[in-house]
Every structure is written in C-alpha cells, then in structure tokens.
Amino acid sequence: MAVAWQGGPVHLNWAGNLTYTAREVARPTTLDELADVLARADKVRALGSRHSFNDVADTPGVHVQVDALDDGRPAVDLDPATGVASVTAGLRYGDIMRTLHAEGRALATMASLPHISVAGAVATATHGSGDATRSLAGAVVGLELMTPDGGRHRLVRGDADFAGAVVSLGALGVVTRVDLETEPAYEVRQDVALDLPWDTLLERFDDVTGAAYSVSVFTGWDEPAARHVWFKSRVDGGVVAGDDGRPDALRHLRWATAPQHPVPGVDPVACTEQLGVPGPWYDRLSHFRLEFTPSAGAELQSEYLLPRRNAVAAVEAMRRLGPVVAPHLLTSEIRTIAADDLWLSPFDEDSVGFHFTWLQHDAEVRAVLPRIEEALLPLGARPHWGKLFAVGLPDVAATYPRFADFRALAERMDPAGKLRGGYVERLLG
C-alpha cells in the first residue's frame, strides 16, 4: 500500500495562493502500488512539483506523486546508441541534468527553473526560450503511463495518439516515464544587455531574439527602455559572435559589468552565472541555480503565448498597458519558442511568450488579467495551462484545432472520468 498523508502543507501549491481540495496524498514506490491507488480512488490526479498557479492539477480525491516511484530501471536510463534518455517522470529537471552531462549528453532547452518536475512541465507545455528551440514537451519521443484501470501504456513518436498524449494536462493517465531526445553536451555563455531601446526591439525584433541561442527580454512595461536582455550563446558554434563573444549584431548595446537579477533590487546570487563566463548547458540555460530556492513562492504568474508574427503588435499593446500592469508586477519576460505538432501545445507555429511574475496582489492581478487578454487575445494569444488567466475555458478550448480529438482520447483512456478534477473537469465537461 502506498504511503499517504492527510492534510498538511503539501496541500498548498508552491506559491501558496491555492489550497488543493484533495483529501489524501499518495506516494507509491512501485507500479503495483500505483495501480492500487488508482483502483481504490474515486478521483485521482498526478501532482508534480506544485509550480502551477491554478487548479489544473487539483482533485477532490487522491493526489498521487510519483517522485519516489521505482519501476526497476535506472532513474535516468540513457541509450548510447540513440541518445534517448528514459527518465522517471516525477524527477525534477535538476535531478537529471548533471547525470546527462556526465554521460556527455544535453537537453536542447531548459525552463527558467530547474526545480520543476519532468512530467508536470511536459504536460503543461512549459518552455524555455530560443528561436529554434521547442518547448520541453518538444523533446519527448516516448512516454509510459498508467490508466485508472491499471493498464500500462507506452506511446512513442509516430503512434496515432502520441501527439495528443504528450501535453495532456494529466487527463489520460499517470505518467510514469518520459523518453527525452538528447544531444552532445555543450557549453553556454550568458551576457546581459541593459536598457534596450524600445525602438530597437520593435524595429529589429528578429535581430534581437536571433542574436543568441536563447534570448529573454525583461521589462516592467512602464520603463523608458526594456530593462534587460539576457543572451545565452552556445560556445560550440551557432550564432556568430564578435571577438569578445557577445552577439555581433547588437554590439552597440550597453553591457552589464555585474550580475543581474530579473527582478530589480534582488540579489542575483541565485541566478546562473553571467558576464560571459562559459559553463555547462544546464548551468546557463535556466535563469536560476538548482542549489538555491530562487523565491519563497510569494508571487503569482501568468503567461500568454501567441504567434511570433504578432510579436511587435503585442509589445506595442503591452506598452500601452504599462501604467495598469506595473504597480502589481515584479517583472515580465518576453521569450520565443519554435513550433511543434502536439495537440494541446500552444506552439502550433513559431511563437512568442509574454510572461508576468506578479506581486501576490491576488484581487488586483485578477482585475488586470482581462485588460491584458482584451489586448492580446485578438492577436492569437492563448494562456499557459499552468498559470493564472481570466478567459473562459470554452474559449480557450476553441483555439485548439485538435481539441475535439483530445477530448475523445481522454474519454477513451479514462471513460469513468476518474482523472478529472480542478479545471480539467471544467475543460472536458
């Protein structure tokens, strides 16, 4: 029988803005124990690292965590012939990255935090930044999951249901293993430019985001210039850099001579190394180091993903909202993401993300979100599945051309609706 806890702080999400309604948390250590949890629960949902800011992972029944699950295979099982790494789904990206690097392998991208779980990040289409890099879900080539009837299923890229099963919001089963593409390990250097003129960003958006392997623009939206641009350049080639290693296309920018934090006035000690010092991919692509807790969680987050072709119009729209947004904002980030073919991924074409890290002003933020959506939804924006948003779920579902196919897949794999809870219950009806 799986170990379970009643009540306690585990029923809060990471930010502390949400109290889960689950009556029990189970932490199975074997596949048989997981099957037992699924059999006896009337309602059940997988719970990852709790970094969602809404109730996408909630359930009135049993929360199941698979971070202690042992299926008899290595937690990180690298196939040297193909470079595919099969990893236990409940692991954090930070738990696998050093193992991969020690084997001479790397992931193509990382999210801002290495503290998030693999299965949870994949299921919600969480992403990093880079014109040519897809979301974390884009690296998935196979996954294993257990359905509520105890059935064990393996799906690989090319299977009929694969594209519907990767970004699944946990609605198909409890994912137990994820197979990830890797590539040869590489090094990255990180340089931060200060006070990028808005005219430069608007007139040369492609030059800015294409000047390095991964680029993030930070702003408060009410400032006379974009506060920071973080350029993460691969040392092994790719974008051509000048003699000093900085992006050659933007040599006129003013460069930071001391480490920076995305939030003004915060000590950058938790941030990955900057100032152009090369280091392993895993210690540069994320903004924050694994060994630090970059925030106490006293924040809220929203994000909207929209077609890259509308990026400039979206920046202009957000600048007009600067006086409304800024009083409740810690920082905002602009990132780019390459397209994929996953049914519930918002990246069905090359995209740009507008991320908002808010002060914990819950009522005020919820009042601002409709203003942002009024500006961005007509430009094709969709909310991140795991963040705060105001738009109604039927309207969100209508923006995904394969949503009806996903609903049919969910009904086939979970006909009794055991895996429905939180807004997934409302989304699927």
Residue 55 domain flag: no
23 CB burial (10 A radius; 0-12, 13-18, 19+):
middle
Nearest to 393 by CA among 423, 373, 352: 423
Residue 65 domain flag: no
pLDDT tens-place string over residues 79-127: 999 999 999 999 999 999 999 999 999 999 999 999 999 999 999 999 9
pLDDT band at 339 (very low <50, low <70, confident <90, very high): very high
- Who has greater pLDDT, 294 or 195? 195
CA distance linking residue 29 with residue 90, whole number of Å? 11
Task: Check whether residue 112 and residue 202 sit in a common domain.
Answer: no
Residue 72 pLDDT > 70? yes
Per-residue pLDDT, averaged over 288-300, amounts to 79
Residue 238 pLDDT > 80? no
Pick the range with the lowest mean pLDDT from 126-135, 154-163, 178-187, 287-296: 287-296
Nearest to 125 by CA among 333, 373, 344: 344
Task: Check whether residue 207 and residue 352 sit in a common domain.
Answer: yes
The token duo for 410 is 């969910």
Task: Check whether residue 337 and residue 283 sit in a common domain.
Answer: yes
Q: How many domains does the chain have?
A: 2
333, HSE (Cβ side, Cα atoms, 13 Å): 24
Contacts of 358 (CB under 8 A, 6+ apart): 299, 300, 301, 302, 328, 329, 330, 365, 388
In terms of residue numbers, what domain contains 104?
Answer: 76-184
Task: Check whether residue 196 and residue 179 sit in a common domain.
Answer: no
CA distance linking residue 239 with residue 23, whole number of Å? 51
CA distance linking residue 311 with residue 352, whole number of Å? 6
Task: Check whether residue 228 and residue 179 sit in a common domain.
Answer: no
Contacts of 331 (CB under 8 A, 6+ apart): 218, 219, 220, 227, 262, 263, 264, 357
CA distance linking residue 215 with residue 203, whole number of Å? 17
Residue 373 domain flag: yes
Residue 159 domain flag: yes
**At which of 160, 184, 208 does a domain end?**
184
Say what percent of the chain tops pLDDT 70: 94
Using the CB atoms, write b or e for 323-349: b if 16+ within 10 Å: ebbeebbbbbbbbbbbbbebbbbbbbe
CATH number of the CATH domain containing 229: 3.30.70.2520
**At which of 153, 184, 215 does a domain end?**
184
CA distance linking residue 314 with residue 398, whole number of Å? 21
Residue 10 domain flag: no
Task: Check whether residue 116 and residue 80 sit in a common domain.
Answer: yes
CATH number of the CATH domain containing 132: 3.30.465.10
pLDDT tens-place string over residues 416-427: 999 999 999 999
pTM: 0.94
Average predicted confidence (pLDDT) for the chain = 93
Q: Does residue 169 contact residue 56 with C-beta atoms inside 8 Å? A: yes
Residue 173 domain flag: yes
Task: Check whether residue 81 and residue 175 sit in a common domain.
Answer: yes
Residue 3 pLDDT > 90? no
**How many other C-beta atoms are found inside a 10 Å radius of the C-beta of residue 390?**
16
Q: Does residue 176 contact residue 273 with C-beta atoms inside 8 Å? A: no
Residue 92 domain flag: yes
Per-residue pLDDT, averaged over 205-224, amounts to 96
Write the Ramachandran bin of 251: left for phi over 0, alpha for psi from -120 to 50, otherwise beta: alpha
25 CB burial (10 A radius; 0-12, 13-18, 19+):
buried
Residue 414 domain flag: no
Task: Check whether residue 166 and residue 225 sit in a common domain.
Answer: no
pLDDT at residue number 249:
66
The token duo for 220 is 């408060």
Task: Check whether residue 83 and residue 223 sit in a common domain.
Answer: no
Task: Check whether residue 206 and residue 337 sit in a common domain.
Answer: yes
Sign of the torsion formed by the C-alpha atoms of 4, 69, 166 and 107: positive
Task: Check whether residue 203 and residue 309 sit in a common domain.
Answer: yes
The token duo for 49 is 């690292």
Task: Check whether residue 360 and residue 232 sit in a common domain.
Answer: yes
pLDDT at residue number 405:
98
